[in-house]
Amino acid sequence: MKINSQLILVFIGLVFVSFNLRAPITSVGPILDLIQNEYSLNSSMLGFITTLPLLTFAIFSPFVAKINHKFGHGLTMFFGLLLIILGELIRSYTNIYGLFLGTTLIGIGIAIGNVLIPSVIKHKFKKNMGSVLSIYITSLCVFAAIGSGLSIPLTNIFTWNTSLAIWVLLAIISLIIWLPQLKKSEKYNNTDDLSIENDMQSKSIWKSPLAWWVTLYMGTQSLLFYTLITWLPSILVFKGFDNHFAGMMLLFFQLVSLPITLYVPILANKIKEQKLIATIISLNYLLGMIILLFATSTFFIIISMIFLGIGMGGAISLGIGFISLRTPHSKKAAELSGMSQSAGYLLAAVGPILIGFIYDMTNSWIFSLWVLILLIFLLIIFGIKAGKDEVTHH
């Protein structure tokens, strides 16, 4: 892969930005009980802490493409990192109001990165898009797992406040690495993009059926991921396993996903249609969920985690990959990224609340797992529709 020094700096910058897009969220779950004790929160307020970033993604994502079009990706991403840093400090070291304000600022900062990175990759790395996407998505998932895994050990060394605030150091390093992108903050005004500028002004991405299939796929896989991240330990405890084993399985489930996360974008970029890949990924997800439903032994729980991890990692990779694969150019990719992550995360935010509500009503996780199985069947349909060899022209 022959690339110049400027592209190397962009690539390193994108990878470091990706480190900050999940860990500030996944690090909260394991220490929710400590936050609850600190601020005397009820269960509804506690659940809102985990849902708030997803709602922030949903509300703010559609505006990122317009902000980026005006100021360029360099300055826009820099602003996003600043918001993450500010939000992490406010969340950790103020009061109960700061907890929610800081979480909101973190959500806005992450939304900027979520929307922009697929667009920047499509613009800057057209010839190596699959490889760069795979590294980006894998970096995202690695630090999501690290965020979950380090939260308790860091709390034991410091306090829960500092265990969350320590991610500021990573954000500051990322900000410094991103600084060269401020020198020449492109607004994507190349010849190809200018030739379709008038066409873009008259057509809304929200009117594209293909864009909606991508959005439904993105939203459903996000719903499944955040529901499992939130409730998997509780499901395993309900089945009779201890908290330590449940926590280990949550980490294992995420780690298993990494190889498939790395491979799927490369494969998807090499073939015209991704319908078969989408179906195989979803069938792994389905098998893992069915085994989890009936499993009573450690062995079968581990087997279910392997299939769930393959399904989850593949679905995340393909969902993000569709943003680049189903769009003709980088500006349209930014629009589809904003749309799919807005409506998608709004759908995802419903997941943990709905599944928790079903458990409260039935006092059992069995019916909740059947709902997730039904959603995987829908994921198969959405994947087949989004996997067609087409690009959106809206």
pLDDT in tens, 149-162: 888 889 999 999 99
pLDDT at 384 over 80: yes
Of 185, 219, 237, the last residue of a domain is: 185
* Distance of alpha carbon 389 from alpha carbon 129, whole angstroms: 17
User: Is 196 a residue whose pLDDT tops 50?
Assistant: no
Radius of gyration, alpha carbons of the chain: 20
CA 5 to chain centre: 29
As given in the structure block, the two tokens for residue 115 are 């929307």
H helices of 271-325, in order, are: 275-294, 298-325
The pair of three-digit structure tokens given for residue 122, joined into one six-digit string:
């499509």
Q: Tell me the pLDDT band of 148, cut-offs 50, 70 and 90.
A: confident
DSSP 176-224: HHHGGGGTT------HHHHHTHHHHHH--GGG-HHHHHHHHHHHHHHHH
For residues 254 and 281, the answer to whether their CB atoms sit within 8 Å is: no
User: What pLDDT does 344 receive?
Assistant: 85
* Torsions phi, psi for 364 (to 5 deg): -155, 150
- Non-local CB neighbours of 219 within 8 Å, separated by 6+ positions: 340, 343, 344, 345, 346, 347, 348
Query: Which residue do the tokens 């020094």 mark?
Result: 5
Domain co-membership, 177 together with 214: no
Domain membership flag for residue 190: no
CA 162 to chain centre: 24
CATH of the domain at 332: 1.20.1250.20
- Whether 264 is covered by a domain: the verdict is yes
Tell me the C-alpha distance between 19 and 302, whole Å: 27
pLDDT tens digits, one per residue of 309-367: 999 999 999 999 998 888 888 888 888 988 988 888 898 888 888 888 888 888 899 99
- Residue 61 sits in the same domain as residue 161: yes
Q: What contacts 319, CB < 8 A, 6 or more positions away?
A: 214, 217, 218, 221, 222, 340, 344
194, part of any domain? no
Give domain status of residue 198, yes or no: no
CA 321 from centroid of its chain's CA atoms:
12
Global pTM value:
0.86
Domain identity same for 124 and 217:
no
Q: Which residues of 66-86 are buried (b: 16+ CB within 10 A; e: fewer)?
A: ebbbeebbbbbbbebbebbbb
Average pLDDT rounded to a whole number, residues 14-24 = 95
What local confidence, expressed as pLDDT, does residue 195 receive? Answer: 47
> In this structure, are 241 and 322 located in the same domain?
yes
| Average pLDDT in the chain | 89
Domain boundary among 151, 185, 219: 185
For the chain, the domain total comes to 2
Please list, in sequence order, all residues whose beta carbon lies within 8 angstroms of the beta carbon of residue 229, skipping any fewer than 6 positions away. Answer: 26, 29, 148, 250
Cα end-to-end distance, the chain, whole Å: 33
Q: Could you tell me if 41 and 123 lie in one domain?
A: yes
Question: Residue 370 is encoded by which pair of tokens?
Answer: 């059947």
Instruction: Give the pLDDT confidence of 161-193 residue by residue, as tens digits.
Output: 999 999 999 999 999 999 999 876 555 444 444
**Domain shared by 89 and 147, yes or no:** yes
Helix, strand, coil share (%) of the chain residues, nearest 5? 85, 0, 15
Q: Is 308 found in the same domain as 391?
A: yes
How far apart, in whole angstroms, are the C-alpha atoms of residue 375 and residue 70?
Answer: 38
One domain for residues 23 and 146: yes
Q: Considering the domain boundaries, does residue 199 fall inside one?
A: no
32, pLDDT greater than 60: yes
| Per-residue model confidence (pLDDT) at position 30 | 82
User: Which residue range is the domain that position 30 belongs to?
Assistant: 1-185
Q: Determine contact, residues 254/226, Cβ cutoff 8 Å.
A: no
Same domain, 180 and 225: no
How far is 121 from 302, CA to CA, in rounded Å? 35
The encoded tokens of residue 385 equal 């529709």
Asked which of 155, 185, 215 is the last residue of a domain, the reply is: 185
Q: 213 and 295 in one domain?
A: yes
The Cα 161–Cα 265 span in angstroms is: 36
Same domain flag for 168 and 259: no
376: closest CA among 307, 323, 325, 298? 307
Residues 134 and 215 in one domain: no
CA 292 vs CA 200, 248, 305: distances in Å: 46, 15, 8
